[in-house]
Amino acid sequence: MLTKALNPSHLLESLRNTRPQTKRNLKNYIKVFLGLDIPDKTICQEHNTPLDYLWHAFSSDFKNNHSTQYAHLSAVASAKAERSTSIINADCIVWANRAGGKTELAAVATLLDCIFKPSCQIRILAGSGEQSMRMYEYFLNFLRNGFAQYLQTPARKEKCTFENGSAVEVLNQSATSIRGWHIHKLRCDEVELFTNDVLNAAKFTTQTKNGILAAMEVISTMHRPYGQMQKLVSDAQKNNTPIFKWCIFETIEKCKNRSCSQCPLWNDCRAKAKNAAGYLKIDDVITQMKRSSRAGFESEMLCLRPSLENAVFSEFDPDIHVKPLDYNPSLPLFRSIDFGFVNPFVCLWLQTDDNGTVRIIDEYIKSRVTINIHAKEIIDRTPCPQENVTATFCDPAGAAANDVTGTSAVKELKNLGIKLRYRRSSILQGIELIRRAIKDGSRQSKLIISPKCTKLIEALRCYHYPETSGNPTELPLKDGIYDHPIDALRYFFINQKEEKIKSRRY
């Protein structure tokens, strides 16, 4: 006996209520019910696709899909991540280009959570109230595609609830409004604009319960080498938090009938767009490239690196200046110290070769321990006897007597076997000497840093000028993070320059 065919509208509603089981099903579901064709082709090496992020955000709460949490990583990194994570969560970072669909994709993920994860509590937090409302407006527009029927009550200006107990709400950009929440999902858009207080408060809001995993999703371009995204990406790499990264070539339209040799994008594209499957118009991308600085285009659209326009050492390049180094007993050894207690105490070990190249072989950076502990660490880590150290330089302020102890850091270290030398100078004088070592007027570099010096490398990338709408300043920002390793490096260059002059006199 023949069965009666399903009414097309009934079939459509049946499919609407069917949870996508695979990444391909998810792409098709979004295309049919939301009218969006999510790019799913990886074009650049080590990049992801927008669909990769959506699949992670959607599938991580379903037991049979937990293994997809680290699918974007290499096999070795994936295994390491799973071993090192005792409690699986759905945290992730999305680092993508401007106009890369980040906000709209997060709104799609929010709708899917509400429909297919009963009682899921989601909050939207962005770098500004306007940006938060933009994501929420995308979400409201998606509801109009046949999903409003699932609402418990009509959607309100900043909140809506569903019959299955799920809810979405927009949070204000303040630490006070964030504290006290215990929710499943927090979507942080344009986190580069977050203040430290707001970001720190946001980190404690998510909680796994009722079978739904906690997830803090951080979404942004990376504007500055010293900004929130740079710090979060660096931490994510240490903690094996998934990072989903894409650029214009994962989101640009397929290139057809264009001459590569005549195309302004050729130097960046190299025919990548011939294989693309996105939505950004090529002519729009070319126009934006011509409007912007090269640094801005590389950071905002290519996601190569954060913009260095406000960095003090914009010529510093880890690919050039960071190389494996070992102690060479035939070269003089120097140490350079910046004092601190709450702020970090820094010691660098440096050597110079016959060509004048400065080789930084090690670093020691630690806070909140006493000077005797620092002294022991410095002596233990010095790769030669103390009498063979050519000189140890330091901050001149270390010679001042402490109001509590009545002695100075310089005298304390001397009593512990470390003799120090210092010379007063301006900050700008030391910065110029570092710049000259990074790249001189003939574009030659005379600075090499061991990969072991992770904090110094980060400081050279992130040391920056204050962002101010008033009169600009020539002095870099004293942020208590990046300035201390740079100060130690300054003292070396200032004093080593004087050392050379004295040698010539004798």
Rounded Cα distance, 99 and 41, in Å: 17
Phi-psi region for residue 258, left (φ > 0), alpha (ψ -120 to 50) or beta? beta
Task: Note the pLDDT of residue 70.
Answer: 47
Q: Domain ranges in the chain?
A: 21-248, 318-465+473-505
Rounded Cα distance, 506 and 499, in Å: 11
pLDDT tens readout for residues 312-353: 998 899 989 999 999 999 999 999 999 999 999 999 999 999
128 has pLDDT over 90: no
Task: Note the pLDDT of residue 244.
Answer: 97
**More confidently predicted of 498 and 257:** 257
Q: Give the right CATH number for 21-248 from 3.30.450.20, 3.50.50.60, 3.40.50.300, 3.30.360.10.
A: 3.40.50.300
The phi and psi torsions of 331 (rounded to 5 degrees) equal -110, 150
Query: In the β-sheet with 92-96, what is the strand arrangement from edge to edge?
Result: 159-161, 167-170, 121-126, 185-189, 215-220, 92-96, 243-246
The arithmetic mean of pLDDT across residues 414-442, rounded, is 92
Task: Note the pLDDT of residue 5.
Answer: 52
pLDDT tens readout for residues 245-274: 999 999 999 999 899 989 999 999 999 999
pLDDT tens readout for residues 50-105: 999 999 999 999 965 544 444 444 433 444 444 344 447 899 999 999 999 999 99
Return the CATH architecture of domain 318-465+473-505: 2-Layer Sandwich (3.30)
CB 337 within 8 A of CB 394: yes
Rounded Cα distance, 420 and 410, in Å: 6
Q: How confident is the model at residue 432 (pLDDT cuts 50, 70, 90)?
A: very high
Q: Model-level pTM greater than 0.85?
A: no
Task: Note the pLDDT of residue 234.
Answer: 84
Task: Note the pLDDT of residue 85.
Answer: 43
402 has pLDDT over 80: no
Rounded Cα distance, 473 and 469, in Å: 11
